[in-house]
Amino acid sequence: MDLKEQILAYLGQIEATTLATSDEVEQFRIAWLGRKGILKDTMAAFKEAPNEQKRELGQLVNQLKKAAELCISSGAQGAETIDQEDNASHDWTRPDGGAPLGAHHPLSVVRRDIIGILERMGFVVTEGPEIEDDWHVFSGLNFPAEHPARDMQDTFFVDRDPDMLLRTHTSSVQVREMERRDPPMRIVMPGRVFRNEAISARAHCMFHQIEGLYIDEGVSFADLKQTLLRFAQEFFGPDTKIRLRPSYFPFTEPSAEVDVYWGLKTEVDKRITKGTGWLEILGCGMVDPAVLEASGIDSRKYSGFAFGMGVERITMLKYQIGDLRAFFESDLRFLDQFQGEY
Ligand code: PHE
């Protein structure tokens, strides 16, 4: 067969071909137009052909290429409708094994649980700004200027305005609310706080606190103690025991730190409780009358208690997490472990 006959035979072959599926189209494309395809060979043979035949053969080669391309494009159109029909016969309501669901962040879970318990006791969620002035974070809370108690918390100040700072505790929201409203008030104040500390397994420059405040006529230390016991038993379990140790905060008098009894059964228990069996979970106290007065509340008529806790600390206790940094790294291998915690 000479080249002319060969090309005519190819043309007949293409004429007789219909491509139904996208697979067939692709195979045809490779066989005819591919790098080692028929058209390549035909072109090579064409180059070898005697000059006087080139004119006629050239036209035929062109025709062959066009025919192959046409066959592909009409095949591709047909294949598309077939693919669509395939879709139509696919049962889209069939379960597909499920897309991976995200999980709530452990801090969100614990924050929600803590707030939920306090809300059921009648506390109402209240929030305040993260960038605060000195009054609401310190002075209004009975931290006198230059008083060393300010060094209990390492503060980030705003360069342009020395009176402005990132709040170091959520107690600032207490002051805002006491100024804004009249007692009785029973509020819970969640939020981010900031301290200028080197980041380590136990400390971070940003963390979360939840604070509670109750002011009314005749609120006593017994009310505080009972509220905290109830809270601890709801959160850690009905048999949880607490103890109060005397402590100091400028804005409460008397002040205390609260421990829960963790136990000493395992080596881990011994390590995290430093051999005592007790773990500190929060700070608290009776609101200092000077703080009430500074916010315009009559301290002869009203009294109140406040308490504040760190969400990271309580989350670490609840899930036995050893490194605080894990909360802020967004590592899915860590976060996915909380899939079940809704
Ligand atoms: N604001 C205190 C802290 O950040 C905690 C606290 C709150 C203590 C309320 C007593 C009463 O350490």
User: Would 86 be classed as within a structural domain?
Assistant: no
Identify the residue whose C-alpha is closest to ligand 1 atom 10.
284
pTM score of the predicted model: 0.71
pLDDT for the residue numbered 83: 66
The dihedral region occupied by 323, where left means phi > 0, alpha psi between -120 and 50, and beta the remainder, is: beta
Whole-number Å distance, alpha carbon 139 to ligand 1 midpoint, is: 15
Same domain, 197 and 240: yes
User: Would 242 be classed as within a structural domain?
Assistant: yes
CATH code for the domain of 221:
3.30.930.10
Query: Residue 145: pLDDT band by 50, 70, 90 thresholds?
Result: confident
User: Would 313 be classed as within a structural domain?
Assistant: yes
Reduced to 3 states, what is the DSSP secondary structure of residue 239?
coil
Q: pLDDT digits over 293-340, tens only?
A: 999 999 999 999 999 999 999 998 888 888 889 999 989 889 888 877
Whole-number Å distance, alpha carbon 320 to ligand 1 midpoint, is: 23
pLDDT above 80 for 260: yes
Same domain, 119 and 243: yes
Residue 70: how many other CB atoms lie within 10 Å: 11
Same domain, 267 and 305: yes
- Structural domains in the chain (count): 2
Whole-number Å distance, alpha carbon 159 to ligand 1 midpoint, is: 26
Contact 341, 217 (CB under 8 A): no
User: Would 150 be classed as within a structural domain?
Assistant: no
Same domain, 118 and 261: yes
Query: Residue 254: pLDDT band by 50, 70, 90 thresholds?
Result: very high
DSSP one-letter code for 242? E
Same domain, 228 and 122: yes
Identify the residue whose C-alpha is closest to ligand 1 atom 7.
308
Q: pLDDT digits over 47-81, tens only?
A: 999 999 999 999 999 999 999 999 998 888 877 77
Whole-number Å distance, alpha carbon 205 to ligand 1 midpoint, is: 17
Same domain, 194 and 296: yes
Query: Residue 250: pLDDT band by 50, 70, 90 thresholds?
Result: very high
Whole-number Å distance, alpha carbon 129 to ligand 1 midpoint, is: 17
Whole-number Å distance, alpha carbon 315 to ligand 1 midpoint, is: 18
Alpha carbon distance 151, 135 (integer Å): 16
Q: pLDDT digits over 105-121, tens only?
A: 999 999 999 999 999 99
DSSP one-letter code for 100? P
Residue 79: how many other CB atoms lie within 10 Å: 18
Same domain, 70 and 182: no
Identify the residue whose C-alpha is closest to ligand 1 atom 9.
307
Over residues 260-265, the mean pLDDT reads 89
Same domain, 115 and 8: no
Q: Which atom of ligand 1 is nearest to the CA of 310?
A: 4
Over residues 276-298, the mean pLDDT reads 95
> Which of 44, 79, 114 is the endpoint of a domain?
79
Identify the residue whose C-alpha is closest to ligand 1 atom 2.
308
Contact 91, 135 (CB under 8 A): no
User: Would 48 be classed as within a structural domain?
Assistant: yes
H or E stretch at 62: helix 51-89
pLDDT for the residue numbered 272: 78
Instruction: Answer whether 172 contacts ligand 1 (Cβ < 6 A).
Output: no
User: Would 282 be classed as within a structural domain?
Assistant: yes
Instruction: Answer whether 75 contacts ligand 1 (Cβ < 6 A).
Output: no
pLDDT above 90 for 267: no
Please, which residues have CB within 8 angstroms of residue 111's CB and are 6 or more apart in sequence?
A: 190, 208, 210, 311
pLDDT above 80 for 152: no
Instruction: Answer whether 249 contacts ligand 1 (Cβ < 6 A).
Output: yes
Q: pLDDT digits over 179-218, tens only?
A: 999 999 999 999 999 998 889 888 899 999 999 999 999 9
Same domain, 250 and 297: yes
Same domain, 222 and 257: yes
Same domain, 114 and 68: no
Over residues 77-90, the mean pLDDT reads 73
Same domain, 53 and 172: no
- Amino acid found at 36: K
Helix spans in the chain (H): 3-15, 22-33, 38-48, 51-89, 106-120, 134-137, 171-180, 221-236, 267-272, 289-294, 311-319, 332-335
User: Would 136 be classed as within a structural domain?
Assistant: no
Show the domain range for 276.
106-128+168-328
